Structure 1
Amino acid sequence: METAKPKNETVAPQPVKGGLVAYLQVDGAMKAAEFYKKAFGAEMAGYHPPDEQGRTMHAHVYINGSSLMLSDAYPDHGYPHEKPQAFTVLLPLASDDIDAWWKRAVDAGMEVTLDLQVMFWGDRYGQLRDPFGVSWAMNAPVNG
């Protein structure tokens, strides 16, 4: 996967969207941001330039009207890389959007871990895993 090289400058911070914001540590924050553009139509809201080792301490993207923050690991500063576990990032969607969102994510390379289906609570729901090990779920009401 080709990743656009960020300029060696800090992009001005943009407003944070959403009442609760996930901040994910991944192995390759800028690569993840580029992947999320393909998988979820993410828009880059801002980032700090990579350091001498190619690590990005902060990237901010917008997905589905909310903010998502990303960072590389910094073991030399007490933040070692840890495999994502025990959480799922949820994308609540309108009923007429979920199929397009699902297809785009799968076409981008997301691994389906639970097929999109009508669940016992009445919504369409499915789970995917991205190449960075992060679990994602999509949920939409069956009747709009």
Structure 2
Amino acid sequence: MNDTAASSGLTPYLSIDGASDAIAFYQQAFGAIERARHPGESGKLMHAHVEINGAPLFMSDFFPDHGYPPVAAQGFNLHLQVDSAQTWWDRAVAAGCTVLMPLKEEFWGDIYGQLRDPYGIRWAIAQTKAA
């Protein structure tokens, strides 16, 4: 892989059933910018790199024949800290994300909500409320 991801030390890497379609969805829902795409066998993506809100996200399709069988997403969310939570929220919902936790001002003071995309990935959208 010859990607130049931000050297933040940690980049989420998702295996998704339909990674090419997920990239198109993330472009619509979260303003993703595609940085790299490496096709594998049968039109599946061996590796892809997108950028969302200035951060890298890697992904690939599942490859059961090579030890990477499909599994459901669980136990995590991708957290987007943004300047305008409502704008990001509205775009994601319009694109087809399902609301899990409505966007609202929370007891800790942030505007916060959670969504699920059509690929089973949970997203949190948050905005620090101005003091």
TM, length-normalised to structure 2: 0.93
What amino acid does structure 2 have at the position aligned with 1:119? E
**Hey, what does 1:70 align to over in structure 2?**
59
Distance apart, 1:14 and its partner CA: 4.2
Question: Partners in 1 of 2:20 and 2:38 — Cα distance?
Answer: 10
| Structure 1: stretches of 5+ with no match in the other structure | 1-11
Identity across aligned pairs (percent)? 45
Equivalent of 2:100 in 113, 127, 131: 113
User: 3-state SS of the aligned residue for 1:101?
Assistant: helix
Question: Partners in 2 of 1:13 and 1:66 — Cα distance?
Answer: 17
Question: Partners in 2 of 1:138 and 1:17 — Cα distance?
Answer: 21
Distance apart, 1:50 and its partner CA: 4.0
Question: Partners in 1 of 2:59 and 2:47 — Cα distance?
Answer: 6
**Hey, what does 2:37 align to over in structure 1?**
47
Equivalent of 1:84 in 65, 73, 76: 73
Equivalent of 2:16 in 2, 21, 26: 26
Asked if the contact 1:18–1:65 (Cα under 8 Å) also holds between the matched residues in 2, the reply is: no
| Structure 2: stretches of 5+ with no match in the other structure | none
Higher-helix-fraction structure: 2
Higher-strand-fraction structure: 2
Question: Partners in 2 of 1:56 and 1:48 — Cα distance?
Answer: 6
What amino acid does structure 2 have at the position aligned with 1:43? I
Question: Partners in 2 of 1:18 and 1:62 — Cα distance?
Answer: 13
What amino acid does structure 2 have at the position aligned with 1:128? L
Equivalent of 1:131 in 118, 121, 127: 118
Distance apart, 1:120 and its partner CA: 1.6
The number of residue pairs the alignment matches comes to 130
